[in-house]
Amino acid sequence: MQQLNLFFSKEFEGKWGNFNSFVNLELNNNFNLEKNYGNIKLEEAWVRYSYNDYFTVKIGLFIPAFNNFNEIKNRMPIIPYLFRPLVYEASINEIIAIQNFVPTNANVQIQGNVDVTEDITANYAIFAGNSEEKYIATNPSGVIYRGQDTTKFKMVGGRIGLKYRTLKFGISGTYDRNNLADLFEGSNLNPNIVRYRFGTDLSFSFNDILFEAELISVKGELKAAHKDFIKNYSKNVIVKKYSDLYNLSNELDNLNDTYNNINLPSPSDPNYINLKKQRMLLLSQIQQKQLQLQQMFTQLQKVSENRLFLGDTYDKLFYYLSLGYNITDEFMPYVSYSYYEDGLDARFKDGMQQYSFGIVYRPITEVVLKAQWTQQNIDKINYKSNFYHAGISVMF
């Protein structure tokens, strides 16, 4: 089973207004603790207090209101896709990180609706939380435990929108930091790049037609020194790492030679103890250097990979459009197109396109059978791949 979400929800009502609590536990990839398959994640856990239509506050861990698709990207029974528009697809998150484009979680959000006319409503949401997940500690160190964010960087953002029945339009934005420590490792540059995300969304269902579209643009405050470092990445990092590796390898050879040149006399010799101690000390140094060499080699592999995919600017762009038509209540074919561009990744610097055609069959509201064909293209490198997906989403 690809994904199972367990939702728990409880509403409370009092003289001060309504409270609502919500927990979403997500289990992925045939989760099995005994066999060490898959993973389990606390995706959301929040409490919402609604004073009136104009003022609602949400506190806890939740997906913030940024554009339209962000909040529902994991709600498989209500979306038509099996393979989602490019930056939202979790299975390729290691290649295209979702959080580069949308905030994946926040901790406090104030939202509300205001009537513009009798039929049109304006809505707003302002949210705040930690900066991206890359700042969360993954190795315990001293008093810092795994999963703790020790940085001062915070993410703030919001969305304002207009709604007329199912027609929704909005503009969104965030301000936070992007952790580029991997890229700027070994330099004196600040790797915490100020990042701005801008988004706009439009969606509606009219008669039997469903339409949704989004655009996200991401800008980063890279200083001239950052750009220069990226431009000269080979010289600044790779050549230096190779040189360090070469020096370390020489040191190791010297230590090995010294070790081999110390011949132990017979145990009755008065120098025996001293020489034995020297050899043990050398052996320990050799082991340390070997470990360093191994680490350095891994680092070199990483920076070489960085170099291989390194672009020359920071800016990113994503948009998608989807159009579906309900032929009957149960049956809906749809087409979807998405485009992704990342100036910092040479693979996607000149754009990647994804075309999809899918069929959704919903025998009852809670059960959805889906089939989807997807083609991904990167014109510049003549990359073209076709994917076929079939699946079922059930809500019970």
Partner 1 sequence: MKIKKYLLIFLLLFTSSYAEVTIIGNKSTNITITNANSAFDYFTMAKGNLKVFYLKSGSANDEFFSFIGKDFNEMKKIWMRLQLTEGKIAVALNSEDEMLEKVASTRNSIGYVSTSKVNSNVKSIFTIK
- Half-sphere exposure for 221 (CA within 13 Å, toward CB): 10
Least Å from the CB of residue 193 to partner 1: 31
Q: Return the structure tokens found at 99.
A: 């959080």
Nearer to partner 1, 18 or 28 (CB): 18
- Spatial separation of the C-alpha atoms in residues 152 and 141, rounded to whole Å: 18
Interface contacts to partner 1, rule CB under 8 A: 7, 9, 11, 13, 17-18, 20-22, 48, 50, 52-53, 71-72, 75, 77-78, 113, 118-119, 121, 163-166, 205, 329, 362, 365-366, 395
C-beta closer to partner 1: residue 116 or 181: 116
Please tell me the total number of residues recorded for the chain in this structure: 396
Nearest to 117 by CA among 170, 166, 48, 163: 163
Nearer to partner 1, 45 or 300 (CB): 45
Measure the CA angle with vertex 248, ends 242 and 251; round to 5°. Answer: 145
Strand partners, 6: 25
CA–CA gap between residue 267 and residue 8 (Å, rounded): 73
Query: Which residue's CB is nearer to partner 1, number 77 or number 191?
Result: 77
Contact 345, 356 (CB under 8 A): no
What tokens were used for 279? 């050899």
**Smallest distance, Å, CB 215 to partner 1?**
22
The C-alpha atoms of residue 213 and residue 336 are separated, in whole angstroms, by: 9
Residue 202 Cβ vs partner 1, minimum distance, rounded to whole Å: 17
Please report where in the chains the tokens 């289990």 appear, as a residue: 27
Complex with partner 1: residue 331 or 373, whichever CB lies closer? 331
Taking the complex as a whole, how short is the minimal distance between the CB of residue 362 and partner 1, in angstroms? 8
Helix (H, G, I), strand (E, B) or coil at 117: coil
* Closest CB to partner 1 among residues 129, 343: 129
In the complex, least distance from residue 80 CB atom to partner 1, rounded to whole angstroms: 11
In angstroms, what is the minimal distance from the CB of 225 to partner 1? 43
In the block, tokens 């304002």 appear at: 160
Q: How far is the CB of 119 from partner 1 (least distance, A)?
A: 4
Instruction: Between 205 and 299, name the residue whose CB sits nearer to partner 1.
Output: 205
Instruction: Identify the H or E element spanning 145.
Output: none
